[in-house]
Homo-oligomer: A and B are copies of this chain.
């Protein structure tokens, strides 16, 4: 089954304790689609500017990612500059230039309409809802968001949450969205807002899935998967989007969504996140093999399993 992802294709300048890079291909939809491409067919909806060169297109082409839905606009692509010099777990934003993203009006190619899965990466919830409504035939919808939308665009965000099968956000966002500092109570409060399930990302500590009463699997008990515990983090950028790509990519590659499939998808999410952070930018995600992915999956299993 194929996935359509809507989100940013961007350029990042990043400083980490391991070094820095300037205006490299990045963005949530880029990390997501590279990670997911090892599992299933991926289609991207985004907008880029005139700085999006053939070398950048080649990154998507090499992974057979469908970019019909990537609009070329006059001007520059979305640009973000950040630093992890003081805290490897949280980026300090140095600069954000929306550029062509300021007027982004997602257009869904007709050929994408048979996608079974849709992932709404972190963008304006008004656009997320519009894309969701424009793809009535999808069977499963996942979404991400961030503090800015939770704080200042709550009503619009709630209209997205009610359409989601799976919401993927981090600990801080969960507590903020629930307006409750207790992580367990917060998770259940978020489920009450509409998503059928919630995956709370814990950074280096992995992620925990919670299921609402309406969940599409019978895995009503929470599930925790590990993440990044064995690798040296060179660049945390894109870890969450790569988790989402591995998670949804694996889900979409399976004939049926069972509790066991959901659990393995969580592990694959952690695996893809761990690869992403080992090198700068998207470098590691461009050149993986499925064997490397399976080896790390086995390592994660060994890390957490009793027998």
Tell me the minimal C-beta distance from A211 to chain B in angstroms. 12
Is A306 a contact of B305 with CB atoms below 8 Å?
A: yes
Query: In the complex, A229→B305 CA distance in Å?
Result: 17
Query: In the complex, A307→B208 CA distance in Å?
Result: 16
Chain A: how many interface residues by the 8 Å CB criterion?
34
Is B224 a contact of A303 with CB atoms below 8 Å?
A: yes
Using A205-B205, A205-B206 as known contacts, say yes or no to A232 and B306 having CB atoms under 8 A apart. no
Query: In the complex, A184→B278 CA distance in Å?
Result: 13
Tell me the minimal C-beta distance from A235 to chain B in angstroms. 13
| CB neighbors of B among A229-283 (8 A) | 229-233, 260, 263-264, 267
Which residues of chain B are within 8 angstroms of A304 by Cβ–Cβ distance?
223-225, 304-305
Which residues of chain B are within 8 angstroms of A221 by Cβ–Cβ distance?
299, 302-303
Is A222 a contact of B232 with CB atoms below 8 Å?
A: no
A195 CB-CB contact with B under 8 Å: no
Using A222-B229, A230-B184, A231-B184 as known contacts, say yes or no to A267 and B306 having CB atoms under 8 A apart. yes
Is B182 a contact of A232 with CB atoms below 8 Å?
A: yes
A181 CB-CB contact with B under 8 Å: yes
Tell me the minimal C-beta distance from A250 to chain B in angstroms. 12
Tell me the minimal C-beta distance from A62 to chain B in angstroms. 31
Which residues of chain B are within 8 angstroms of A299 by Cβ–Cβ distance?
221
A183 CB-CB contact with B under 8 Å: yes
Is A264 a contact of B306 with CB atoms below 8 Å?
A: yes
A-to-B contact residues, CB < 8 Å: 88, 181-185, 202, 204-206, 208, 221-226, 229-233, 260, 263-264, 267, 299, 301-307
